[in-house]
Amino acid sequence: MGRSAMAVPLMLLLLCTMCRLALGITDGLLPNGNFERGPLPSQLRGTRVLGSSAIPSWQTSGFVEYIPSGHKQGDMLLVVPEGAYAVRLGNEASIRTRLPGAALRRGARYSLTFSAARTCPQAEQLNVSASGQSGLLAMQTMYSSNGWDSYAWAFVAAAGDNSDGEVEVAIHNPGVADDPACGPVIDSVAIKTLTPPRRTNRNLVKNGDFEEGPYIIPGTKWGGVLIPSMVVADEHSPLPGWMVESLKAVRYIDGGGAGSGGGGFAVPRGRRAVELVAGKESAVAQVVRTVPGRRYALSFTVGDAGNACAGKLAVEARAGREATTVAYESAGDGGATKRAVLPFRAAAARTRIVFFSSFYSTRSDDRSSLCGPVIDDVAVVSVRAKRR
């Protein structure tokens, strides 16, 4: 009886462990991803972190600072909009955490989301890496007036980085500045499992409704998450099926996110959409399979995000050799919705479709925050020629 009684809780423990591994990683913040659990007082010299393991759940290298909200850097007041603490990465500094290999499914795609702010005037970059893959994310453009934005990047889970099968996630500042403490501030690091979208007979565009995408940190003042520029390799795109082939990012928005005044963004259909926030320098594209000589129709919906992006907006769409511009007036309240169709004849087995804004726009209630037209519900269908 004694052995049986002891075996029951042991079996339950093993069963719970197996269930957690089978379920995989949970969408949301990584362990201590908001850095609210910090170093001991003895592990700090001012704001500088002493010891590579001082921040719980993270490893650090180089000049890393633990920044409380309201910390002053010269005449600059550093604001931490989410919680009370964040970390700053100086020259060649990095933060790393390890994910259990059993929680990641080999061959599956995952997106990383994190918030970042510049603290120095020079162009800054961040190198994000996971599972042997890496991407360089540019931060020279500030899209919101408070200096903070959320960024996303994706990777495909491969073999673990050590004998335990763990996968290392790292954020590294490769910059070299005159001031070693001059570097970006990082907060709210999260992960999300991405489901590969599929083409259907009714729509040749993958993820045309943009419902599949990166984790969006809830309750931020700037809202949404930036899909970085020049992410042209599909496996590294946190927006499955789509690529950002421009100099600037596009913003991925959520109908339940934080728009102007803290309310939800306006999304033409469903819950997610894309906002083109940097004129012709902000473009999203996809290559669809077509039959040369066959006629097709590219249809899409444009609108505004309900974030005070008022005035004239225009979306330029291209499908192969054909192009159209859809112009419309926005009151900035989410009511400017318009459906458009671009007929085209395929010239090859692959046809590139692309969308970008005709010009830059800023919010009417905050001229320092970039905004732009919204696109959603994109479809490409084959069109039969009319019989005469």
Q: What would the two tokens of residue 205 be?
A: 């565009």
pLDDT of residue 231: 64
**What's this model's pTM, rounded to 2 decimal places?**
0.88
pLDDT at residue 263, as a whole number? 46
pLDDT at 198: 85
- Enter the CATH code of domain 198-388: 2.60.120.260
pLDDT of residue 370: 92
Q: What is the identity of the amino acid at 158?
A: A
Give domain limits for the chain: 27-194, 198-388
Distance between CA 354 and CA 280 in Å, rounded?
11
User: CATH topology for 27-194?
Assistant: Jelly Rolls (2.60.120)
Query: From first to last of its 388 residues, what are the pLDDT tens digits of the chain?
Result: 444 444 444 444 444 444 444 456 789 999 999 999 999 999 999 999 999 999 999 999 999 999 998 887 777 777 787 889 999 999 899 999 999 877 888 889 999 999 998 887 766 789 999 999 999 998 878 888 878 899 999 999 986 655 577 899 999 999 866 666 678 999 999 999 999 888 888 899 999 999 999 999 988 888 899 998 866 656 678 999 999 988 899 999 998 644 444 447 999 999 999 999 999 999 999 999 999 999 999 999 999 999 999 999 999 999 999 999 999 999 999 988 999 999 999 999 999 999 999 999 999 988 888 999 999 999 999 998 665 5
Rounded Cα distance between 4 and 124, Å, is: 61
Nearest to 65 by CA among 190, 149, 183, 188: 183
Cβ atoms of 295 and 266 within 8 Å: the answer is: no
**Which pLDDT score, from 0 to 100, does residue 145 have?**
80
How many Å separate Cα 88 from the centre of its chain?
20
